[in-house]
Amino acid sequence: MRGIKGRTLLVIGRVSNLPTVWANVLTGWFLGGGALGGHLPGTLLAASLVYYAGMVWNDVHDVEWDRRHGKRRPIPAGDISRNLAFWIATGATAGGFGMLQALGAEPTWMTALALSIGLYTVLHKRWTGSIWLMGACRLFLVVMAASIPGEPTPSVWLWGSALLLYVAGITLAARGEDGEGRVPCLARLLLWTPAVLGLALARQTESEPLFLWAALGAVILFLSWQWRVHSSFLKGMTPVGPFIGQLLAGMVLVDAMAIASLSPPAAAACAALLPLNRWLQRLVPAT
């Protein structure tokens, strides 16, 4: 059996994006009525395994395409065999979903998450509409996390949908960039959409000033990051790869907006994952 080279297990699982998974779980957890402790650590670990499995399945399925177009990927580069990657993905899938079942996640939403991951893996090279499947993976991750401590409330669905739109925008931007510093207008619209929801939520916040300022602060932080990332890209200062990486890292700020008016400390934790994500991207490619 062929050995594993260097950082292969980190690269094939795109582990630099794990902070975005943790932030998604925090969003679902707190919007679903959860509190610190309890099954939260287990849910974070289980979601990490599911994410890791999805990334590896992607490489296993795309190996022939990667041999023609993406030889830097671990399997065509010879860093890991396709067979070993298959069994790693199988083990991570079983471990992640097995843990979620043991923690009490609603089977309906686990199934929806698994289907979204599987359909995206199979269709993303064949169907342009698969950007919505990629977004659905994050939506159902949030909904699934919310089902462990409580029930998926309307807020869970609302913010899960905001993540769906944001992630679909990232995917479309990555596909539509034409080498001249432009991305499709639809991608731009999708990437800014969560700010509208954040502002609406801040406006409706009528509790203590701390929660109002936390909500406004989260929106300002998201807008500032988006402006910085887009400005740098449009000026030609950021290549498309790092641009997509920055957009991915900014996902945690959508989560911060989602829970800022509910739990400012949890929102701050989500925001703090941004520099961690960017640091990890220096070690492991985000895409």
| Domain harbouring 228, CATH code | 1.10.600
Q: What is the pLDDT of residue 207?
A: 61
Domain presence at residue 2 = no
Q: What is the pLDDT of residue 287?
A: 83
Q: What is the pLDDT of residue 5?
A: 66
Residue spans of the chain under pLDDT 50: 1, 177-179
Q: What is the pLDDT of residue 11?
A: 94
The structure's pTM equals 0.93
Domain presence at residue 188 = yes
Domain presence at residue 1 = no
Domain presence at residue 3 = no
Q: What is the pLDDT of residue 235?
A: 83
- Contact between 271 and 218 under an 8 Å Cβ cutoff? The reply is yes
What amino acid occupies position 191?
L
Domain presence at residue 103 = yes
Structural domain total, the chain? 1
Domain presence at residue 193 = yes
Spatial CB neighbours of 252, under 8 Å, sequence gap ≥ 6: 19, 20, 23, 270, 271, 273, 274, 277
Rounded to whole angstroms, the Cα distance separating 149 from 152 reads 9
**Residue 31 structural domain:** 8-283
Q: H helices within the chain, ranges in order?
A: 8-12, 18-31, 40-61, 63-69, 82-103, 107-123, 131-146, 154-176, 185-204, 209-234, 240-249, 251-259, 264-283
What separation in angstroms does the CA of 2 have from each of 7, 67, 84, 101, 139?
15, 18, 8, 33, 37
Domain presence at residue 166 = yes
Domain presence at residue 206 = yes
